[in-house]
C-alpha cells in the first residue's frame, strides 16, 4: 500500500463573516474612561514581511488602575470595557482606541508592567497565537516577571513603539514567522 500525503486545507478566511463585521470593537474606551488615551495600531506580517489582510486581533487589558473588568457593564460607568476585536485591513493593519493600562498584580506578590494581552487568529492558524504588548520606554518593564522570562534579545518583539507622526499613537508589528518573529506564549 502506498500512502501519499494529500495537501492540507487552510482554515478560513471566515473571520469576517461572523466575528469581525457586526461584532468589531475598536473603541475600548469612550470619553468617560479614566487614564491616558492611546491608539494602538497593529500590523500583522507573514514570514516574508508581507501584510496579512485577513487576520483577527483580540485584546484584553486592565484599566488605568491595573484592574481587569469582570462581568457585564465595564469599568468607569461602562466607559471602559477592557476588550477589543478587529480584523486587519488589506494593508495588514487595524487600530484600537483604548487607555494605557496600569501595572497589574502578578504571581507571588510581584507587579507586572502595563501590558495588553493579545490573541491572533487567521487563515492557516489552527490554534490562536497569544502574546503581549508592552510599551517601549516604560520603567516598569525592567522588573516585569513575564517579560523577564523572554530572552533579552527577543524582548523588543513585545514592545509597542511610539508613532513619531502622531502623539498618543503606538505601533505594534506582529511577525508571524521569520527572524523578527514575535514572541508567542503557550497559554
- According to DSSP, the β-strands at 37-45 and 169-175 are parallel
Burial of 41 (0-12, 13-18, 19+ CB in 10 A): middle
| 79: DSSP letter | T
Q: In this predicted model, what pLDDT tens digit does every residue of 35-65 receive, in sequence order?
A: 999 999 999 999 999 999 989 999 999 999 9
**All structural domains of the chain with their residue ranges:** 15-102+115-175
Per-residue confidence at 1, pLDDT binned at 50, 70, 90?
A: low
Q: In this predicted model, what pLDDT tens digit does every residue of 103-153 receive, in sequence order?
A: 999 878 899 999 999 999 988 788 899 999 999 999 999 999 999 999 999
Torsion of CA 110, 133, 55, 46, to 10 degrees: -110
The mean per-residue pLDDT over the stretch 89-106 comes to: 95
Q: Indicate the SS3 state at residue 107.
A: helix
CB 172 within 8 Å of CB 133: yes
Where is pLDDT greater, at 28 or 13? Answer: 28
Q: CB under 8 Å to 156, separation ≥6 — which residues?
A: none
Q: What pLDDT, on a 0 to 100 scale, did the predictor assign at position 25? A: 84
My answer on whether omega of the bond before 13 falls inside 30° of 0, hence cis, is yes
Secondary structure element (H or E) that encloses residue 129, with its range = strand 129-135
CATH number of this structure's domain 15-102+115-175, picked from the four choices 3.20.20.110, 2.60.130.10, 3.60.40.10, 2.60.40.2310: 2.60.130.10
| 20: DSSP letter | I
Amino acid at each position: 500500500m502506498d500512502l501519499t500525503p494529500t495537501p492540507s486545507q487552510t482554515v478560513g478566511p471566515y473571520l469576517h463573516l461572523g466575528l469581525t463585521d457586526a461584532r468589531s470593537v475598536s473603541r475600548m474606551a469612550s470619553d468617560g474612561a479614566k487614564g491616558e488615551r492611546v491608539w494602538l495600531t497593529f500590523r500583522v506580517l507573514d514570514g516574508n514581511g508581507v501584510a496579512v489582510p485577513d487576520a483577527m486581533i483580540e485584546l484584553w487589558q486592565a484599566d488605568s488602575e491595573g484592574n481587569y473588568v469582570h462581568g457585564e457593564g465595564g469599568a468607569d460607568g461602562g466607559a471602559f470595557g477592557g476588550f477589543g476585536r478587529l480584523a486587519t485591513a488589506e494593508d495588514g493593519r487595524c487600530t484600537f482606541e483604548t487607555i494605557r493600562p496600569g501595572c497589574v498584580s502578578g504571581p507571588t506578590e510581584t507587579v507586572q508592567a502595563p501590558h495588553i494581552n493579545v490573541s491572533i487568529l487567521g487563515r492557516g492558524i489552527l490554534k490562536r497565537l497569544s502574546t503581549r504588548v508592552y510599551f517601549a520606554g516604560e520603567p516598569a518593564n525592567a522588573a516585569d516577571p513575564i517579560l523577564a522570562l523572554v530572552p533579552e534579545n527577543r524582548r523588543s518583539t513585545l514592545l509597542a513603539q511610539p508613532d513619531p507622526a502622531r502623539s498618543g499613537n503606538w505601533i505594534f508589528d506582529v511577525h508571524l514567522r521569520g527572524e523578527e518573529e514575535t514572541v508567542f506564549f503557550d497559554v
